[in-house]
A = this chain, B = another copy of it.
Amino acid sequence: MSHAEIIAIGSELLTPFRSDTNSLWLTAELNALGIAVRRKTVVGDDELFLEETLRDALRNSPVVITTGGLGPTEDDITRKVVARVTQRPLVLQPELLDRIRHQFESRGLKMAPNNERQALVPRDAEALRNEYGTAPGIVIAEGDRLLILLPGPPREMRPMFTAYVRPKLTPLAGSARLRTRTLRVAGMGESQVDDLIAPIYTRYTNPTTTILFNNTEVELHFTASAPSDAEAEALLDEVVGQVEEVLGVNVFSHRGETLEQIVGLRLTLKGYTIATAESCTGGLLSKRLTDVPGSSKYFLEGVIAYTNEAKTRLLGVPAELIAEHGAVSAEVAEAMATGIKARAGTTIGVGITGIAGPDGGTDEKPVGLVYVGVAGDFIVTHRKFILPGDRDRIRHLASQVALDLVRRTFLL
């Protein structure tokens, strides 16, 4: 399989505040073409380091892609350093200059002189049109190496890659096709999942299996390489099929969809409606449900009842029930679910009550204690969780287990 390196250029990417995300998108695109990424580098606006990084990359990899440093200011050094590394003088391309000047004029602006720099292209290189900005991309065929310079802003870089770079890379990709598949798992920890599926995936080197835990759910990524898409898919089917069988209903998503998308899809298919009653999650559950476009078909309303008084007034939870069991209890979680279902007139009601911390925990009811109640036409039930982590993680996990309880109770 062919391989590539990606170099992100810009001093702001060497601060604690910003990371290079272009390379993730580019990696997905390259992988889809059967090109693996072997190394990624971030350098600042620093001629010495960029020069050495470019030389190394061109020595080691048939495809080198840079992002950033093509703008009009002194800091934008990519053109200059590439000219030096490839020993090609920069040549002003008059038609590029016209185009850039025209882009300014069409917005009623006068082009500042430093923008002329963006019309400089190394000799015998090809300029790539930028539909969404002024800095053109540049492609240089250097012996059997392909050096591709793209602008940094994603809204400029992505369309340029798709329109002009992808077609150039397709012949390089050779015969290997890469296909990936993603499973998402709820209700199990990373090591629990690994114990169950390691006996399967360790028997295969193709596809490769990556297990990730993203704080709330386990993600399984499978990548197969084969001479054709169909053969790669067949390799995936064989391993993923066995993994799905072992994990059963714990796998909620087979094509990478989120839990809220899956819940929304199943609610729509069944013609069900849902309403939420939240305490410790403070709106996160309904936020996730309504993240999904078209959720107004099944999500009717939600209530965030932080105070006991609101639980009684908005949800009809009896004050005596709260007094007897406490606001964080199985009884109140079920009463919240029943209450919101009755008042909203939905098929399903969900209630969450818990202690997200950092304060408010006791020995008996510690931080992380969460009760989720669900109510349907024929069933009212709850589950108790002790969730780990800080406030943020506890709240996110609580919304996750609530969505998953809805899925397992009503939507399988």
Interface residues of A (CB under 8 A from B): 12-21, 23-25, 27-28, 31, 36-44, 46, 48-49, 52-53, 56, 60, 210, 212, 219, 221, 223, 276, 278, 281-287, 289-291, 293-296, 299-307, 310, 313-314, 343-344, 357-359, 391-392, 395
Q: Cα distance A282–B301 when bound, in Å? A: 9
Given the known interface contacts A219-B17, A294-B359, the answer about A39 and B27 at a Cβ–Cβ threshold of 8 Å is no
Q: List 22 A-B contacts (CB under 8 A).
A: A12-B212, A13-B40, A14-B27, A14-B37, A14-B39, A15-B221, A16-B24, A16-B28, A17-B219, A38-B43, A40-B41, A52-B60, A56-B56, A276-B283, A282-B291, A283-B283, A283-B286, A283-B304, A294-B359, A300-B307, A301-B303, A310-B344
Chain A binding surface SS class: mixed
Cβ of A206 to closest chain B Cβ, rounded Å? 14
A73 to chain B, nearest CB (A): 11
Name the residue on B nearest A299 (C-beta): B306
Is the beta-carbon distance between B295 and A282 smaller than 8 angstroms?
yes
Evaluate whether A19 and B21 lie within 8 angstroms (CB atoms) in the complex, with A39-B49, A283-B285, A293-B357 already known. yes
- Chain B residues with CB below 8 A from A283, complex form: 276, 278, 283-287, 290, 302, 304
Which of B12, B37, B303, B307 sits near A304, CB closer than 8 Å? B303
Known: A40-B41, A299-B282. A293 touches B391 (CB 8 A): yes
